[in-house]
Amino acid sequence: MSQSVTRSDRATLVIAHRVNAGEESQYEDWLNRMAVCEAQAPGFIGREVIFPIADGQDWYTSVIKFDSPETLAAWTVSPNCRQMVAEAESMSAQVLRSGAQPQSDGLFLLGSDEQAPEPATWKVALIVLIGLYPSIFAISWLFTFRIEVPFALRLLIGNILAVSVVSFVTTPIARRIFRNWLRARRDAVVTNVVGALVIGLSVLCMLGVFLLVPSP
């Protein structure tokens, strides 16, 4: 007898890589190979990838779902996963991670109503994008152009600030703003489309503003 996986059982991991210039094609090849490996992992549900935007954000963001925290943890400590992760990190200037907790679907705890549908992976990805983009832009601009510190220290401080801001400020704010949209059922087509368009237009507006910010 098959056993269904409830929303509270699932676990989500969000990982963002800022890939070294010139290594994008190798990284995208890595994504394809990683997808093959993950498909063989027990409990794997799916991976959604947000690709960089030309002249905008330069991060590859992956939203990875497993059917339980235990299967996610088992995969992340497996030799195969560790080897693949090390390969990706060798191609990345910065790496951000946001782990999931049981019953929270990562950063997306929506309340105790178990009848509410679990947010679709593409919705989670859009919320991560709208929280990640302004945070990474501001931190990267500040530490790249305005603060002169050794690269290793700049990288450490930038990662600490980025993880903190994305986890505790921008993404939770976006989650609350789009709470009803995240909870909308899949057959609520108008609500789902309008919410996605609003997020897309918001990102484009941020891009327009950020393009006006002077660089040295």
Report the amino acid identity of residue 67. Answer: D
Q: Is residue 61 part of a domain?
A: yes
Strand-by-strand arrangement of the 92-98 sheet: 44-50, 60-66, 11-19, 92-98
The enclosing domain of 196 has a CATH number of: 3.30.70.100
48 falls within a domain = yes
Structural domains in the chain (count):
1
Per-residue pLDDT at 216 exceeds 60: no
Question: 142 in a domain, yes or no?
Answer: yes
CB atoms within 10 A of CB 140: 17
pLDDT > 70 in the chain, percent: 81
Residue range 68-96: average pLDDT?
Answer: 88
Residue 1 lies in a domain: no
Angle between helices 189-212 and 121-145 (to 10 degrees): 10
- Domain containing 74 equals 7-212
Q: Is residue 2 part of a domain?
A: no
Q: Tokens for 35, please give them.
A: 């997808």
For the record, the structure tokens of 198 come out as: 């609003």
| pLDDT (tens digit per residue) in 93-145 | 888 776 544 334 344 444 434 444 567 778 888 888 888 888 888 887 777 66
Asked if residue 99 is part of any domain, the answer here is yes
Return the minimum-mean-pLDDT range out of 1-10, 57-66, 91-100: 1-10
pTM attached to this predicted model: 0.51
Is residue 188 in some structural domain?
A: yes
